[in-house]
Amino acid sequence: MKLYILLISFLFVQLTRAQETPEYLSTQVWTLQDCIDYALANNITIKNAKINKNIAAVDYQKSKSSRLPDLFGSASQNFSRGNSIDPITSNYVTDQIHSTNVGLNSSVTLFQGNQINNQIKQNKLTLEQSVFEEEVEQNNIVISLLETYLQTLYSKESIVIAENNLSASGKEELRAKARLDAGSIALKDYTEAQSQLATNKYQVIAAKNDYQQYIIQLKQLLEIPLTEDLEIVAVNDNESSLHIELEKTELYDKALNYLPEIKASSLNIAASEKDLAIAKGAYLPTLSLLGSIGSGYTSINNSTFSDQFDVNFNQRIGLSLSIPIFNRNQTKAAVKTASYNIEKAEIQKQTVEKEVYKKVETAYQNALSAQEQVLASVASKTAAEQSYILAQKKYELGDLSTTDLVISQNTFTNAQQNYLQAKYLNILYHQLLQFYQGNDIKL
């Protein structure tokens, strides 16, 4: 019976854990789209941008509420002794007085140099800007994921190359040992084969370490525990399908119309202009409507508490006009500061446009270069592979020195690495160009 209960409890715990495990964490292999979807929902940088957007929404609602009247209640209980003024009748008396006062006060601003309306408009612009700033952070995460994802795949394929070289150099070391024992090569040739084997072992270790470092970067972007396993899906190797379909100027124009940082910088200028209007509003008078009701009780009056509250009930309504005459040049300074902030916002927009142009220009030139590099690296890899195969056969027949074999192997290794680098750079920059046009990233 106890064993049965323990078994049921164990299954319940495991089922609960399985239900609590996020969907993507239970997935063994992640695609790039899986990574993007999960990061957009969980990355702390994006969460922080969402909080800023929510704060901007609160500020917008707060500014809209400033049009409404306020309402305050007040109550006081006082005791006085000796010469004093009755707070209810305002008579001068010499006596002990217990008095009670209660009231409601309200005021509403009728005109304040149009500052309230401009503040509402500015906060609305700030809210719209925060939406685009959130999109900027999302785009930054997507681009970081794309770059890290491809770097991870590059390092993973580099491990395969390094392990193949290690396997080949291991066989060559054994062959060199046999030839040394047979007296057909010198000790120097054998030690060179040993050195190449050790070097290739180091390359395998380094390649695996690079791969793990990129896996860590991916996990950090995804905000998943470092203890979780993470495997990613390889991409399509068909580089021939990657072509630049638009001219550079067309790509730049599309990027200006799509990228949220451009829209955010334009809204920043508009918000700064509203800040100037708010500052100028301080030159104008403020008109407010005031109202209050109240009543009270005093102990020197012979009437009862309820009678006094009825008799002493009062209502007041009035207008208050405040005309600014001189405030130590505070308004003048605020207007100048707001004017300078508009200039800063305009310069910031120009800076953003330059940065966008640089991104598009760099991606465009690198995409063109990567296309040519892929073609050249394929030819180089094919030639280096054929040369290495021929060198191995010559080495087996004793027609090639260990030094020449090592050189041939290293040449082939470099050609493979160059091809891998060109392949993934080609994919990266073409995907970036697609992204800058507003198209989805698809690997």
Task: Tell me the residue range of the domain where 28 lies.
Answer: 21-66+113-284+329-436
* pLDDT reported for residue 309: 87
Is the per-residue pLDDT at 285 higher than 70? Answer: yes
* pLDDT reported for residue 237: 66
Is the per-residue pLDDT at 136 higher than 80? Answer: yes
The reply to whether 362 falls in a domain is yes
* pLDDT reported for residue 242: 64
In this structure, which amino acid lies at residue 164?
A: N
* pLDDT reported for residue 129: 98
Query: How confident is residue 238, by pLDDT bands cut at 50, 70 and 90?
Result: low
Counting residues of the chain whose pLDDT is more than 70, the rounded percentage is 92
Number of structural domains, the chain? 1
The reply to whether 98 falls in a domain is no
Q: Which residue has the higher pLDDT, 341 or 311?
A: 341
The reply to whether 4 falls in a domain is no
The reply to whether 77 falls in a domain is no
* pLDDT reported for residue 413: 95
Is the per-residue pLDDT at 17 higher than 70? Answer: no
The reply to whether 72 falls in a domain is no
pTM of the shown model: 0.85
The reply to whether 13 falls in a domain is no
Q: Among 53-57, 180-184, 280-284, 290-294, which stretch is predicted with the lowest mean pLDDT?
A: 180-184
The reply to whether 83 falls in a domain is no
Query: How confident is residue 179, by pLDDT bands cut at 50, 70 and 90?
Result: confident
Question: pLDDT tens digits for 96-126?
Answer: 888 899 999 999 999 999 999 999 999 999 9
The reply to whether 295 falls in a domain is no
Task: Report the CATH number at residue 53.
Answer: 1.20.1600.10
Distance CA 66, CA 79 (A): 38
Of 26, 139, 220, 154, which Cα lies nearest the Cα of 439?
139
